[in-house]
Amino acid sequence: MTGVHSTRRTTAAAPAGWLRWLGLSAAGGVAAGIAWWLAAPGGAFYGQGKDYTVWVARDLVLAGLMVLGGLTAAALLIRWAARHGSGAKVRLVAVLAGGLLGSVLAWRTGVFAGDLFQTPPDNMPSPSIVFSLRSPSVLLLWPLATSVAVFIYAFLAYTFVPPPRPGR
């Protein structure tokens, strides 16, 4: 009877765990979007969005935040897998999907903050010039950094951990 109860609890906890990792990544994306708008040139504190020389720096700030988010997600996932062991593959997929969702939310949150708190000049061809993303490939850096960090950790753990001795 106890085995049936624990099986039900494990299968019920699996979707909730998956959604939790997805939700944490999405929340991290919103925080990264606000940080992007605050820290990037042409954002809240310095630089002019209409100056095309700051567009690359603005995209690089978001790229750095995406890599940071991916490495943080990988570190949390590796720590969780070391403690619990099972279910790490499902959670890796959730973290990668959440990373993609988080990066899109970061982009849209930053642009929304720029639209909300900045007024574009009248002579602009497009209001998105004031604060926007010019290189959409930056959005792939979060899941890419997560997958590379998990791969390197798994490779090093597989390579340098001695195999178990027979009889133990």
pLDDT tens-digit readout, 114-158:
888 776 666 766 666 677 888 889 999 999 999 999 999 988 888
Does a structural domain hold residue 22?
yes
Number of domains in the chain: 1
C-alpha 147/C-alpha 154 separation (Å) is: 10
Question: Domain range for residue 112?
Answer: 16-160
Does a structural domain hold residue 4?
no
Region of 135 please: left (phi>0), alpha (psi -120 to 50) or beta.
beta
Residue-wise pLDDT for 64-123, tens only, equals 999 999 999 999 988 888 787 777 777 888 889 999 999 999 999 998 888 887 766 667
Does a structural domain hold residue 9?
no
Does a structural domain hold residue 3?
no
Tokens of 116: 């909300």
Does a structural domain hold residue 10?
no
Residue 42 main-chain phi, psi, to 5 deg: 90, 0
